[in-house]
Structure 1
Amino acid sequence: MANTVVSLFSIVLLCITAAQGRKRLHLNNERLTSYPVINDIDGICKTMVETQGYTCEEHQVTTEDGYILSLQRMPEGRSGEKADKPPSVIIELRQLTCVELFQDASTWLVNSPDESLGFILADNGYDVWLANVRGTQYSSGHTSLIPNDTAYWDWSWDELASYDLPAFAQYVYNYTGQRIHYAGHSLGTLMALAALSQGQVVNMLRSTALLCPIAHMNQIPSLLTKLAADTFIANDMYWLGIHEFNPNGRGGAASKFVEDICNKLNLNCSNLMSLVTGPNCCLNSSRTDISSEPTATKNLIHLSQMIRTGKIVKYDYGDQGQNMQHYGQPVPPLYDMTAIPNEFPLFLSYGGQDFLSDVKDVQVLLNDLKDHNGNKLVVLFKEDYAHLDFVRAVNAKQMIYDPMISFFNVN
């Protein structure tokens, strides 16, 4: 086991080797008080949306704790007809490993317009807003901090649920004057579940689609992910002073190193992505590249706590005094999934081959929702889908997005 811990720790150290010179946008000490449309020549609009013939706007919103986040708006489809349906916000978040860490909103645009949810929603008449959470390339600004500051990375998904999601929802709600359909993948679903369970954003959302829902997590079958959580790797990194987890180090030598580590663990790493996400059935073979965005090491610690305990709770500081200081009680409070309003419309879809949103864990979540109004909870199971299929599969439109849009249309 000692060799395993050392090997896994080496993998994490490899993953955090980062290119520190990446261009970032910092708007220190500047809060947005209106609704400006940003002209960003390197942004998602210019590089990914307008190149496909769609209209796109860059927006920014500042959270209550000072993070400056970006949104991209697609107000019409390829036909040029203005959206005639309520706004929809889609957030992309992934979790926990160097193969599949956090992504920004561009994930919803990577496939062709006929296969990518962002374009599909726009072509179906929705006013589409793509949201990028704190720490990602397009949401790296802050009113007083820069990413080189340790304090900038002092957050976990608690803050994503309590600050980022409400900021996105409030901005779009105020801008459009309409309630919103929300779609999230993986940890984006946990943000929504946590916020809804605490009564946040309910009055601004019309419905929520949960693709690969992450809530209860202690039955995940991914050996790499499970071992990383069980051996407290993220905790060790945090106490070594590594507060930003940046997985961008890559290249031939790095790939060879990971291969050697997998050999030592006696794992077949010919497809490392599948070891973490599950055997994806239907990815476009020409678009299998996965670029990763940074996250906070504290966020990884929080997720590891969930995997070890099976509980959906706020971040545990590991000290009763610190927990008392933050929460007024010696243990972190639970997020109660049964507190989600029974009449709130939920669309939930999961896959039989998913190693992160595991079938058994999803069943525990569904048991939490057993009292939900029958006509307000739609559950779609896809036996051959794994984690990435829900955002990258060539047939996701027919299998997942069309039923989801039908659900939006009636709510």
Structure 2
Amino acid sequence: MVFLGFMQFSVLSLCFIVLTTFPYQASSRVSFGRNQNGVNPHLDDGICASAVIVHGYKCQELQDGMTWLMNPPEQDLPLILADHGFDVWIANTRGTRHSRRHVSLDPSNPAFWNWSWDELVIYDLPAVFDYVFSQTGQKINYVGHSLGTLIALASFSEGKLINQLKSAALLSPIAYLSHMNTALGVIAAKSFIGEITTLFGLAEFNPKGLPVDAFLKSLCADPRIDCYDLMTALTGKNCCLNSSTVERFLMNEPQSTSTKNMVHLAQIVRHGVLAKFNYVRPDYNIMHYGEIFPPIYNLSNIPHDLPLFISYGGQDALSDVRDVENLLDRLKFHDVDKRSIQFVKDYAHADYIMGFNAKDIVYNSVLSFFNQVL
């Protein structure tokens, strides 16, 4: 079984894909298998109708994991893995287009948005793992991209998910962001973007909403930022994207996240440590954690015998090479035969999920890695 987590641009949200070797059926996932019927795709119809069934695969709806499915099927990692016998499960971060339901809260209620990626680590990722494992009885191979790597590493370091996990492949990992050099991201983080919008009482960080749009336009006034090339401004100079893929991507993105999540991500950039959310006020931190400063996620606690595949790019402005090297240093005591590292000189952040040559450069290596740990 494989489980993939990834981000929605420009807000660092995430989605998951889980792949198993048997065609289990469940209402809260996407299950792929070949189908002869097709439909006309519409983004608002959901991931199955717009990006899976149309390519001849059976699919049962989960959530919007569209970012993994921007290219033709022979270039998309979920469908490549499905063609190799894996059952694909996709879940999406709370707050994005198809993940806005709650047992008691409405997105118009600020309490709906009172979360950061800490809650994804503590609640959401374990809940998805629990559900998939209960349906399949199989241990999970996880694939994460961007924020999907962050919450996975944090979860592993806390001892979560380990009993249900077989291996993990991490693409463009962002455990550390001290050297992030994407112009828009750096200026936003240094502008205390989350704290500023919190002052305006904005719980939902919606890039397409008027308040955030106005703030982003003010950032774009900076001569260092070329907002006419949004993809590069966010991710670095990607080498291998088709213009049609970028156009389709920008139709789907960016999507909402919580302002608190943006604050937390900005804290990682500014403080240079991987820690839980900092409430700034010592009394608030004491109330939540029993100490003045938020606890650190100690990545060296990740079990040394957990099979890990890590791939990072030389042109990645979000997952800078120096930050990845910092991550690798935290994993220096990992069992040598359980750690596989790939460096792709020309790749930037988006190449990993939308690159037209990602199958040959990255996905075949991911597939080989999973087959080795079966």
Q: Is TM-score (shorter-chain normalized) higher than 0.5? A: yes
Cα distance change of structure 1 residues 124 and 364 upon mapping to structure 2, 3 Å threshold: same
**Could you tell me which residue of structure 1 aligns to residue 130 of structure 2?**
170
1:338 corresponds, among 272, 282, 300, to 300
Asked if 1:300 corresponds to 2:262, the answer is yes
Cα distance change of structure 1 residues 114 and 198 upon mapping to structure 2, 3 Å threshold: same
* SS of alignment partner, residue 173 of structure 2: coil
**Further displaced range: 233-242 or 170-179:** 233-242
2:145 corresponds, among 170, 182, 185, to 185
Does the CA-based 8 Å contact 2:187-2:219 persist in structure 1?
no
Deviation at 1:349?
A: 0.4
Cα distance change of structure 1 residues 268 and 38 upon mapping to structure 2, 3 Å threshold: closer
2:241 corresponds, among 283, 300, 324, to 283
The alignment yields a C-alpha RMSD, in angstroms, of 2.3
Q: Count matched residues.
A: 332
Deviation at 1:266?
A: 4.8
Once residues 57 and 356 of structure 1 are traced to their aligned partners in structure 2, the CA distance between those partners, rounded to angstroms, is 33
Does the CA-based 8 Å contact 2:27-2:60 persist in structure 1?
no
Deviation at 1:269?
A: 4.1
| CA deviation profile, 1:42-94 (whole Å, cap 9, x unmatched) | 222122211111011124xxxxxxxxxx4xxxxxxxxxxxxxxxxxxxxxxxx
| CA deviation profile, 1:290-333 (whole Å, cap 9, x unmatched) | 22210000000001111011100000001111111111111100
* SS of alignment partner, residue 354 of structure 1: coil
| CA deviation profile, 1:100-134 (whole Å, cap 9, x unmatched) | xxxx5111111100101111110111111111121
Deviation at 1:263?
A: 5.3
Letter in 1 for 2:317: F
Once residues 190 and 65 of structure 2 are traced to their aligned partners in structure 1, the CA distance between those partners, rounded to angstroms, is 30
**Could you tell me which residue of structure 2 aligns to residue 54 of structure 1?**
57
**Could you tell me which residue of structure 2 aligns to residue 161 of structure 1?**
121
Letter in 2 for 1:352: G
Asked if 1:146 corresponds to 2:106, the answer is yes
**Could you tell me which residue of structure 2 aligns to residue 273 of structure 1?**
231
Once residues 386 and 145 of structure 1 are traced to their aligned partners in structure 2, the CA distance between those partners, rounded to angstroms, is 38
Once residues 219 and 116 of structure 2 are traced to their aligned partners in structure 1, the CA distance between those partners, rounded to angstroms, is 28
Task: Specify every segment of 5 or more residues in structure 1 that has no aligned partner in the other structure, as ranges.
Answer: 1-14, 17-33, 60-69, 71-103
Once residues 130 and 224 of structure 2 are traced to their aligned partners in structure 1, the CA distance between those partners, rounded to angstroms, is 49
Once residues 35 and 127 of structure 1 are traced to their aligned partners in structure 2, the CA distance between those partners, rounded to angstroms, is 11
Asked if 1:197 corresponds to 2:200, the answer is no
Once residues 233 and 284 of structure 1 are traced to their aligned partners in structure 2, the CA distance between those partners, rounded to angstroms, is 31
- Identical-pair percentage: 47
Letter in 1 for 2:45: D
2:48 corresponds, among 45, 54, 61, to 45
**Could you tell me which residue of structure 1 aligns to residue 22 of structure 2?**
none
Once residues 285 and 219 of structure 1 are traced to their aligned partners in structure 2, the CA distance between those partners, rounded to angstroms, is 28
Letter in 1 for 2:293: V
| CA deviation profile, 1:6-40 (whole Å, cap 9, x unmatched) | xxxxxxxxx99xxxxxxxxxxxxxxxxx954699x
Once residues 221 and 172 of structure 1 are traced to their aligned partners in structure 2, the CA distance between those partners, rounded to angstroms, is 37
Does the CA-based 8 Å contact 2:139-2:165 persist in structure 1?
yes
* SS of alignment partner, residue 260 of structure 2: helix
Once residues 200 and 180 of structure 1 are traced to their aligned partners in structure 2, the CA distance between those partners, rounded to angstroms, is 13
Once residues 219 and 305 of structure 2 are traced to their aligned partners in structure 1, the CA distance between those partners, rounded to angstroms, is 49
Letter in 2 for 1:381: F
Task: Specify every segment of 5 or more residues in structure 2 that has no aligned partner in the other structure, as ranges.
Answer: 1-9, 12-24, 31-43
**Could you tell me which residue of structure 1 aligns to residue 19 of structure 2?**
none
TM-score with structure 1 setting the length = 0.77
Deviation at 1:224?
A: 2.3
Letter in 1 for 2:161: V
TM-score with structure 2 setting the length = 0.84
* SS of alignment partner, residue 131 of structure 1: strand
